[in-house]
Amino acid sequence: MPTTTRDRKAWLKGADARCNVPPETRVRPRRLVLLGAPGVGKGTQAELLAGHLGACHLSTGDIFRAAKSADPSELTPALTAAVECMRRGELVPDSTVLDLVAERISCLRCPGGFLLDGFPRTVTQAEALDTLLQKHKLKLDAVLSYELPIEQIVARLSGRRTCVNCKAVFHVEARPPKIPGICDHCGGSLYQREDDRPESIRVRMQAYETSTAPLTEFYRRRKLLVAIPAEGSPEDIFERTLHSLRSGHPAPHGQATV
Protein backbone atom coordinates (compact mmCIF):
# COMPACT_ATOMS: atom_id res chain seq x y z
CA MET A 1 0.00 0.00 0.00
CA PRO A 2 1.31 3.48 -0.74
CA THR A 3 2.26 5.38 2.40
CA THR A 4 3.68 8.58 0.94
CA THR A 5 1.92 11.44 -0.74
CA ARG A 6 3.14 11.83 -4.28
CA ASP A 7 3.18 15.24 -5.90
CA ARG A 8 1.38 15.44 -9.24
CA LYS A 9 1.52 19.17 -9.61
CA ALA A 10 2.92 19.16 -13.13
CA TRP A 11 0.27 16.76 -14.35
CA LEU A 12 -2.67 18.55 -12.77
CA LYS A 13 -1.53 22.12 -13.44
CA GLY A 14 0.08 21.87 -16.89
CA ALA A 15 3.17 22.64 -18.86
CA ASP A 16 4.87 25.22 -16.62
CA ALA A 17 4.28 23.49 -13.28
CA ARG A 18 7.07 21.52 -11.59
CA CYS A 19 6.55 18.72 -9.08
CA ASN A 20 7.99 19.47 -5.62
CA VAL A 21 8.65 15.77 -5.06
CA PRO A 22 9.41 14.21 -8.45
CA PRO A 23 9.49 10.40 -8.57
CA GLU A 24 12.95 8.88 -8.14
CA THR A 25 14.85 8.05 -11.32
CA ARG A 26 14.48 4.33 -12.08
CA VAL A 27 16.95 2.07 -13.87
CA ARG A 28 14.02 0.68 -15.77
CA PRO A 29 11.09 3.09 -15.53
CA ARG A 30 7.75 1.41 -16.19
CA ARG A 31 5.43 2.99 -18.73
CA LEU A 32 2.00 1.44 -18.53
CA VAL A 33 -1.54 2.18 -19.68
CA LEU A 34 -4.44 0.98 -17.51
CA LEU A 35 -7.67 0.18 -19.36
CA GLY A 36 -11.06 -0.85 -18.05
CA ALA A 37 -14.63 0.39 -17.73
CA PRO A 38 -15.32 3.17 -15.22
CA GLY A 39 -15.55 1.64 -11.75
CA VAL A 40 -13.53 -1.46 -12.56
CA GLY A 41 -10.95 -0.32 -10.00
CA LYS A 42 -8.13 0.84 -12.24
CA GLY A 43 -7.65 4.09 -10.28
CA THR A 44 -7.07 2.05 -7.11
CA GLN A 45 -4.69 -0.27 -8.94
CA ALA A 46 -2.86 2.73 -10.38
CA GLU A 47 -2.38 4.09 -6.83
CA LEU A 48 -1.10 0.72 -5.58
CA LEU A 49 1.18 0.32 -8.59
CA ALA A 50 2.47 3.87 -8.21
CA GLY A 51 3.58 2.99 -4.66
CA HIS A 52 5.14 -0.27 -5.81
CA LEU A 53 6.86 0.83 -9.01
CA GLY A 54 7.64 4.43 -8.05
CA ALA A 55 5.98 5.62 -11.26
CA CYS A 56 3.57 8.54 -11.38
CA HIS A 57 -0.20 7.98 -11.60
CA LEU A 58 -1.39 10.22 -14.44
CA SER A 59 -5.16 10.51 -14.81
CA THR A 60 -6.78 12.77 -17.41
CA GLY A 61 -10.01 12.64 -15.36
CA ASP A 62 -8.09 14.23 -12.46
CA ILE A 63 -7.06 17.12 -14.74
CA PHE A 64 -10.73 17.80 -15.52
CA ARG A 65 -11.76 17.47 -11.88
CA ALA A 66 -8.98 19.92 -10.90
CA ALA A 67 -10.31 22.32 -13.59
CA LYS A 68 -13.82 21.98 -12.16
CA SER A 69 -12.62 23.29 -8.79
CA ALA A 70 -10.51 26.09 -10.33
CA ASP A 71 -11.58 29.73 -10.69
CA PRO A 72 -13.71 29.71 -13.91
CA SER A 73 -11.96 32.88 -15.14
CA GLU A 74 -8.67 30.91 -15.26
CA LEU A 75 -10.04 28.25 -17.62
CA THR A 76 -9.69 28.28 -21.39
CA PRO A 77 -12.96 27.94 -23.37
CA ALA A 78 -11.90 24.35 -24.28
CA LEU A 79 -11.40 23.44 -20.63
CA THR A 80 -14.74 25.04 -19.61
CA ALA A 81 -16.49 22.94 -22.30
CA ALA A 82 -14.56 19.85 -21.13
CA VAL A 83 -15.79 20.29 -17.56
CA GLU A 84 -19.38 20.44 -18.88
CA CYS A 85 -18.84 17.18 -20.83
CA MET A 86 -17.52 15.55 -17.67
CA ARG A 87 -20.53 16.69 -15.63
CA ARG A 88 -22.83 14.95 -18.13
CA GLY A 89 -20.64 11.82 -18.11
CA GLU A 90 -19.74 12.32 -21.80
CA LEU A 91 -16.25 11.99 -23.23
CA VAL A 92 -14.32 15.22 -23.70
CA PRO A 93 -13.44 15.84 -27.40
CA ASP A 94 -10.23 14.10 -28.50
CA SER A 95 -8.62 17.38 -29.63
CA THR A 96 -8.97 18.92 -26.13
CA VAL A 97 -7.61 15.82 -24.38
CA LEU A 98 -4.71 15.49 -26.81
CA ASP A 99 -3.70 19.14 -26.40
CA LEU A 100 -3.66 18.71 -22.61
CA VAL A 101 -1.55 15.55 -22.78
CA ALA A 102 0.89 17.02 -25.33
CA GLU A 103 1.40 20.04 -23.03
CA ARG A 104 2.39 17.59 -20.29
CA ILE A 105 5.03 15.70 -22.27
CA SER A 106 7.53 16.25 -19.43
CA CYS A 107 5.37 13.90 -17.30
CA LEU A 108 5.54 11.20 -19.97
CA ARG A 109 9.32 11.68 -20.16
CA CYS A 110 9.70 11.57 -16.36
CA PRO A 111 12.54 9.18 -15.35
CA GLY A 112 10.23 7.64 -12.74
CA GLY A 113 7.95 6.24 -15.48
CA PHE A 114 4.18 6.63 -15.70
CA LEU A 115 0.86 4.87 -15.25
CA LEU A 116 -1.74 6.35 -17.58
CA ASP A 117 -5.25 5.99 -16.17
CA GLY A 118 -8.24 7.11 -18.27
CA PHE A 119 -6.08 7.96 -21.28
CA PRO A 120 -6.16 6.90 -24.06
CA ARG A 121 -9.90 6.42 -24.25
CA THR A 122 -10.48 6.26 -27.99
CA VAL A 123 -8.53 4.73 -30.86
CA THR A 124 -7.77 8.27 -32.10
CA GLN A 125 -6.20 9.08 -28.71
CA ALA A 126 -4.25 5.79 -28.74
CA GLU A 127 -2.83 6.56 -32.19
CA ALA A 128 -1.89 10.08 -31.07
CA LEU A 129 -0.20 8.67 -27.95
CA ASP A 130 1.80 6.28 -30.16
CA THR A 131 2.98 9.18 -32.29
CA LEU A 132 3.85 11.33 -29.27
CA LEU A 133 5.83 8.53 -27.59
CA GLN A 134 7.66 7.64 -30.79
CA LYS A 135 8.64 11.27 -31.28
CA HIS A 136 10.24 11.25 -27.82
CA LYS A 137 11.75 7.75 -28.25
CA LEU A 138 9.59 6.29 -25.50
CA LYS A 139 7.84 2.91 -25.49
CA LEU A 140 4.91 1.47 -23.59
CA ASP A 141 5.82 -1.65 -21.59
CA ALA A 142 2.27 -2.98 -21.41
CA VAL A 143 -1.43 -2.13 -21.38
CA LEU A 144 -3.23 -3.62 -18.38
CA SER A 145 -6.87 -4.31 -19.18
CA TYR A 146 -9.06 -4.82 -16.09
CA GLU A 147 -12.18 -6.90 -16.80
CA LEU A 148 -15.39 -7.20 -14.73
CA PRO A 149 -19.13 -7.88 -15.36
CA ILE A 150 -21.26 -4.73 -15.56
CA GLU A 151 -23.45 -5.38 -12.44
CA GLN A 152 -20.33 -5.47 -10.27
CA ILE A 153 -19.05 -2.30 -11.89
CA VAL A 154 -22.20 -0.34 -10.99
CA ALA A 155 -21.96 -1.51 -7.34
CA ARG A 156 -18.36 -0.36 -7.18
CA LEU A 157 -19.04 3.06 -8.68
CA SER A 158 -21.82 3.96 -6.29
CA GLY A 159 -19.61 3.23 -3.22
CA ARG A 160 -16.48 4.95 -4.49
CA ARG A 161 -15.02 7.91 -2.56
CA THR A 162 -12.04 10.08 -3.57
CA CYS A 163 -9.71 12.30 -1.52
CA VAL A 164 -10.06 16.03 -2.29
CA ASN A 165 -6.28 16.52 -1.83
CA CYS A 166 -4.20 13.56 -2.99
CA LYS A 167 -6.96 11.88 -5.08
CA ALA A 168 -6.48 8.50 -3.38
CA VAL A 169 -9.50 6.27 -4.00
CA PHE A 170 -11.49 4.35 -1.35
CA HIS A 171 -14.72 2.32 -1.31
CA VAL A 172 -17.22 2.47 1.52
CA GLU A 173 -17.32 -1.35 1.73
CA ALA A 174 -14.45 -2.89 -0.23
CA ARG A 175 -11.70 -0.46 0.78
CA PRO A 176 -12.96 1.72 3.61
CA PRO A 177 -10.72 4.42 5.07
CA LYS A 178 -9.63 3.92 8.70
CA ILE A 179 -11.74 6.94 9.72
CA PRO A 180 -14.98 7.33 7.71
CA GLY A 181 -14.81 10.29 5.32
CA ILE A 182 -11.06 10.92 5.92
CA CYS A 183 -8.15 9.96 3.65
CA ASP A 184 -5.68 7.48 5.21
CA HIS A 185 -2.75 9.01 3.32
CA CYS A 186 -3.06 12.76 3.80
CA GLY A 187 -6.05 13.38 6.12
CA GLY A 188 -8.06 15.12 3.35
CA SER A 189 -11.85 14.82 3.12
CA LEU A 190 -13.37 12.11 0.95
CA TYR A 191 -16.16 12.94 -1.52
CA GLN A 192 -18.38 11.20 -4.04
CA ARG A 193 -17.65 12.23 -7.61
CA GLU A 194 -20.48 13.99 -9.42
CA ASP A 195 -20.13 11.60 -12.35
CA ASP A 196 -20.55 8.57 -10.05
CA ARG A 197 -24.27 9.37 -9.77
CA PRO A 198 -26.66 6.93 -11.51
CA GLU A 199 -27.62 9.13 -14.50
CA SER A 200 -23.96 9.87 -15.32
CA ILE A 201 -22.94 6.24 -14.77
CA ARG A 202 -25.32 5.13 -17.56
CA VAL A 203 -23.88 7.65 -20.05
CA ARG A 204 -20.31 6.74 -19.10
CA MET A 205 -20.90 3.01 -19.58
CA GLN A 206 -22.32 3.71 -23.04
CA ALA A 207 -19.32 5.90 -23.93
CA TYR A 208 -17.04 3.10 -22.74
CA GLU A 209 -18.74 0.45 -24.88
CA THR A 210 -18.62 2.49 -28.08
CA SER A 211 -15.31 4.35 -27.75
CA THR A 212 -13.02 2.63 -25.28
CA ALA A 213 -13.74 -1.10 -25.61
CA PRO A 214 -12.21 -1.14 -29.18
CA LEU A 215 -8.91 -0.11 -27.58
CA THR A 216 -8.38 -3.61 -26.22
CA GLU A 217 -8.26 -4.90 -29.80
CA PHE A 218 -5.94 -2.04 -30.80
CA TYR A 219 -3.40 -2.98 -28.11
CA ARG A 220 -3.88 -6.73 -28.50
CA ARG A 221 -2.77 -6.40 -32.11
CA ARG A 222 0.36 -4.58 -30.89
CA LYS A 223 1.02 -7.43 -28.41
CA LEU A 224 0.85 -5.05 -25.47
CA LEU A 225 -2.41 -6.21 -23.89
CA VAL A 226 -2.41 -7.95 -20.50
CA ALA A 227 -5.94 -8.98 -19.47
CA ILE A 228 -6.50 -8.98 -15.68
CA PRO A 229 -9.71 -10.31 -14.06
CA ALA A 230 -10.90 -7.53 -11.73
CA GLU A 231 -12.99 -9.67 -9.32
CA GLY A 232 -12.24 -9.67 -5.59
CA SER A 233 -10.63 -7.18 -3.23
CA PRO A 234 -8.22 -4.46 -4.40
CA GLU A 235 -5.40 -6.49 -2.79
CA ASP A 236 -6.39 -9.63 -4.75
CA ILE A 237 -6.46 -7.68 -7.99
CA PHE A 238 -3.13 -6.07 -7.15
CA GLU A 239 -1.54 -9.50 -6.56
CA ARG A 240 -2.89 -10.60 -9.94
CA THR A 241 -1.50 -7.44 -11.53
CA LEU A 242 1.98 -8.00 -10.10
CA HIS A 243 1.86 -11.64 -11.12
CA SER A 244 0.93 -10.67 -14.69
CA LEU A 245 3.71 -8.10 -14.81
CA ARG A 246 6.28 -10.64 -13.59
CA SER A 247 5.16 -13.88 -15.20
CA GLY A 248 5.39 -13.22 -18.92
CA HIS A 249 3.27 -16.25 -19.84
CA PRO A 250 2.28 -16.04 -23.47
CA ALA A 251 -1.44 -15.47 -23.88
CA PRO A 252 -3.55 -16.92 -26.70
CA HIS A 253 -3.82 -13.58 -28.50
CA GLY A 254 -0.39 -12.18 -27.79
CA GLN A 255 0.15 -10.98 -24.25
CA ALA A 256 2.84 -8.53 -23.29
CA THR A 257 5.67 -9.41 -20.94
CA VAL A 258 7.00 -6.70 -18.67
Catalytic residues: 42, 121, 160, 193, 204
Binding of ligand AMP by 97 (CB under 6 A) = yes
Q: Are 198 and 155 in contact (CB under 8 A)?
A: no
* Rounded-to-integer distance, Cα 82 and Cα 75, Å: 10
121 binds ligand AMP per the rule CB under 6 A: yes
C-alpha–C-alpha distance, residues 32 and 224, integer Å: 10
CB of 124 to ligand AMP, least distance (A): 10
Stretch near ligand AMP under the rule CB under 6 A, chosen from 25-33, 87-95, 169-177, 247-255: 87-95
Q: How many other CB atoms are there within 10 angstroms of residue 26's CB atom?
A: 14
163 φ, ψ to 5°? -80, 135
- The smaller minimum CB distance to ligand AMP, of residues 14 and 22, is found at 14
Question: Per CB under 6 A, which region of 70-78, 82-90, 174-182, 219-227 contacts ligand AMP?
Answer: 82-90
3-class SS letters over 136-179: CCCCCCEEEEEECCHHHHHHHHHHEEEECCCCCEEECCCECCCC
112 binds ligand AMP (CB under 6 A): no
**Pick 83 or 255: Cβ nearer ligand AMP:** 83
| Among 23, 29, 36, 89, contact with ligand AMP (rule: CB under 6 A) | 89
Binding site for ligand AMP (CB under 6 A): 38, 59-61, 64, 85-86, 89-92, 97, 118-119, 121, 125, 195, 204
